[in-house]
Amino acid sequence: MADPPREGGGPSPTGSSKDGSSQPGATGAGTPGTGHGPARLEHGFERALSLSRIVVVVPVVVLVLAALSSFALGTDVFVRSVTNFVEDTELTSHNLGFLLLLTDLFLVGATLMIAAFGFYELFVARIDVADPSLRLPGWLRMRDLNDLKARVISMIILVAAVTFVDVVVETKDGGLATFYLGAAVALVIAALTAFLHFGKIDGGNGS
């Protein structure tokens, strides 16, 4: 006659403890939870959305090319007009308007270049070259959108002021038209200055 099984001597069923309760991890070990699929999908979408900021490289390249075009146009205007400017050395309204036109073209190119640097630093990566001579100056580093907005608006105000002076210099007769133009430019500059001062974007936690 076979001996009765001793208490606790027999093997426990797979996945169950002595008291009959199932042991954690004994069955279904290594199978992902029900939430792993949506979590992976969400992570993949966030990764793709984060990588999509690389698309900003396209407007950055376009802005740089537009800036170079503005610089090239100013240089071309200077080269084609420098002979007349040298022959007529008197500070006439035409010569002064010529200098203001060159200033305007170069300022527009600088504004486009600043916007290109801002887009790249805000959306892609910080420009931090190992060579100190190639690093950006401190005023050109963009920490947030407020910095980019301040640089671009400041340049727009400067371009508007130079353009207005150019129009005044080239205008043969003044009058109400020039006054209205000056008032309009002053109104735009005042609006941009107010927007720059009161329209700061809070980059904190919203507290």
- Tens digit of each residue's pLDDT (9 = 90 or more) over 74-89: 999 888 887 776 666 6
Domain presence at residue 153: yes
Q: Which residue range is the domain that position 111 belongs to?
A: 51-198
Domain presence at residue 102: yes
Domain presence at residue 13: no
Angle at 178 (CA atoms; ends 177, 181), nearest 5 degrees: 85
pLDDT at 140 over 90: no
* pLDDT tier for residue 96 given thresholds of 50, 70 and 90: confident
Domain presence at residue 8: no
State the pLDDT at residue 26: 45
**Number of domains making up the chain:** 1
Domain presence at residue 24: no
**Model confidence over 147-167: pLDDT tens digits?**
888 889 999 999 999 888 888
Which has more pLDDT, 108 or 47?
108
State the pLDDT at residue 22: 47
Domain presence at residue 118: yes
**Model confidence over 168-184: pLDDT tens digits?**
887 776 677 888 888 99
Give the C-alpha separation, 114 to 94, whole Å: 30
Burial status of residue 73 (CB atoms within 10 A of its CB: 0-12, 13-18, 19 or more): middle
Domain presence at residue 130: yes
Domain presence at residue 3: no
- Please give the mean pLDDT across all residues of the chain: 77
